[in-house]
Structure 1
Amino acid sequence: MSSIKRLCMLETNEFLSYQPYLELNNNYQSYVPIEHNIIRDIVWEVYEVDDFDLGKTVALPDVCADIMTFYTDDNAYIFFMGGSISLQQMNELDFMKDVKSIFGVRLRTGMLGNLFRCDVKDINNSRIAMSDALWNGREYEKRMAEADQFMQRWEIMSSYLEQRVAHNYKTNNIVNFVVREIINSQGCIAIKELEDKTGYTGRYLRKMVKDLLGISIKQFCEVIKFQWMCNYYKLRQGDVTLSDLALQSGYYDQSHMNLSCKKLTGELPKKIINMYS
């Protein structure tokens, strides 16, 4: 299957969460479910990295949980991974140095609902074995370990998701609405505005988001704004100054962007955006 290039379009509020340690590897391909697919509202992207290079770059904070399968020459290791799992934490896995390829399903924020049999959250330090996370997890673990083609792997995972959607699938509409509003505002929406739009108090909204996503509204906004910065830089193909990048991404100024980026990644924006050059 040929690689499908993804474009971020700020004008249509299409948010895409980027992970350079995957996307800038030697052989990366991705697939987005077609518009009328039953699981389009659940899956942001399906991706695969071959010839995986662990030292390629750093992991960025994002808001997407993934179902990830790590393939070595001899084994397959399959996990539900929360959105804030860092590359450093992944490096702590004994098998990471031997990983040859990674297959993943990136899930839309707020849409986990009851897709899994245990309590999972979009954004926290969760790393749960597929055998524990999925219904009939051991069966899917075995099938994924045996699958050796991109579309074969996707067919296995999409069959699981389709079955779960057809089996009394539920999500929290309030949290989903808040998530969409924050993403569409590029992380620049006030609690008061969310109160006005939902009719719920800020205290209640904060609790709901924290309980279901595993992150506070403030932290969620910070990560979304950071990811929109990456989106905007890619959209402009690097043809933007740092000061303009800060303003277009919703920061007060370049200093504000620097502080936020340093807090989230440990690096200044210039180093982060150079990954996309």
Structure 2
Amino acid sequence: MLLRSTVFHPTQPEMISHSSSYIECKPDNALSSDISLLYEFNINEQLSSMLPVIPDGCLDLLFCCDPSRPFAVVAVSPRHRCSYHFRTNVTYFGVRLIPDQTSLQFHCSVKELLQFEQLPLFEVTKVESNLLEKIASLSTFQERVAFFSSFLLSRQNEKTETYTLVSYCLNMIYAAKGLINIRKLAEATGYTDRYVRKKFEQSIGFSPKSFSQIVRLQYSVQELLSQNININSLVESCDFYDKAHFYKDFEKYMSLTPVQYKNTYSPK
């Protein structure tokens, strides 16, 4: 079962616009099968402590580097645009995990994690609590990236048959920009619809249909916020039936029209 890996980097544009001192970087190649993005930000007192996030299908590890009260959580992908609370004047270090990563093991299924917005990292993972102390003690983003990358490299596991199946399905979904159904995934892998759905939900938390819708939304958002595209071109490039269907699907997840979102969050 072979399929060329398709690059998919989900975005959180409101995290960038609502925070100060935002910085990010892609992982080294050795970790690209586990990490989508490493980032850091601070919310100052002039900005709202409620930070909007949109569906991206990923799990984020968030380390609050407050010297007096550090903490770490696993933040799940919401099913619809919502807001998470953050402390002001505190540095947060974040790691966005690839949906089919295998280095970080959880005490429960990802599907169970999705029932919550955020969960204490050390209650749901097999990770020693001194990881937080070390990350919080470091002074720069580059130091935190280097330390966490080294930590995760030491935990990489052998890929299982389920991983191979799920990764293959994910790459089909990415390549189709979310425009694919469970029947095509089953036909391509040689398994039944039910088996593919079961293994996918166990590993990713979402059903193949729900995850495909998130991927389509992410591609729509990234295209929408690019400088040189209009709504009509976006409807065509993302293969929506017409503008009305695009608006309906977008507002279902974002609670804003595409025009409102573009006018508010396009890079200035």
Q: Describe the shift of the 1:27–1:98 C-alpha distance in structure 2 as closer, same or farther (beyond 3 A).
A: closer
Q: Distance in 1 between matches of 2:82 and 2:183?
A: 37
For these two proteins, the number of residue pairs brought into alignment is: 256
Name the counterpart of 1:21. Answer: 14
Q: Distance in 2 between matches of 1:254 and 1:41?
A: 35
Structure 2's unaligned 5+ residue stretches are: none
SS at match of 1:68: strand
**Is 1:108 paired with 2:98?**
yes
Q: Kindly, what percent of the aligned residue pairs are identical?
A: 20
Name the counterpart of 1:76. Answer: 70
Name the counterpart of 2:266. Answer: 276
Q: Distance in 2 between matches of 1:115 and 1:169?
A: 13
SS at match of 2:10: coil
Q: Describe the shift of the 1:190–1:117 C-alpha distance in structure 2 as closer, same or farther (beyond 3 A).
A: closer
Q: Distance in 2 between matches of 1:30 and 1:84?
A: 21
TM normalised by structure 1 equals 0.82
TM normalised by structure 2 equals 0.84
The counterpart of 2:35, out of the listed 30, 40, 43, is 43
CA contact (8 A) 1:174 1:198 kept: yes
Structure 1's unaligned 5+ residue stretches are: 1-11
**Is 1:138 paired with 2:129?**
yes
* Deviation readout 1:205-262 (Å, 9 max, x if unpaired): 122212221111111111110100122234xx33222122122123222111111111
CA contact (8 A) 1:222 1:260 kept: no
Name the counterpart of 1:6. Answer: none
* Deviation readout 1:58-101 (Å, 9 max, x if unpaired): 3211111111112346322211222228775622xxxx243522
After TM superposition, the structure 1 = structure 2 runs for residues 1-277 of structure 1, keeping only pairs within 5 Å, are 14-24=7-17, 25-35=19-29, 38-52=30-44, 53-54=47-48, 58-72=52-66, 74-84=68-78, 88=82, 90-91=84-85, 96-98=86-88, 100-111=90-101, 113=102, 115-121=104-110, 124-126=114-116, 127-165=118-156, 168=158, 170=160, 172-234=163-225, 237-274=226-263, 275-277=265-267
Q: Distance in 2 between matches of 1:118 and 1:199?
A: 30
CA contact (8 A) 2:22 2:40 kept: yes
SS at match of 2:129: helix
Q: Distance in 2 between matches of 1:169 and 1:134?
A: 19
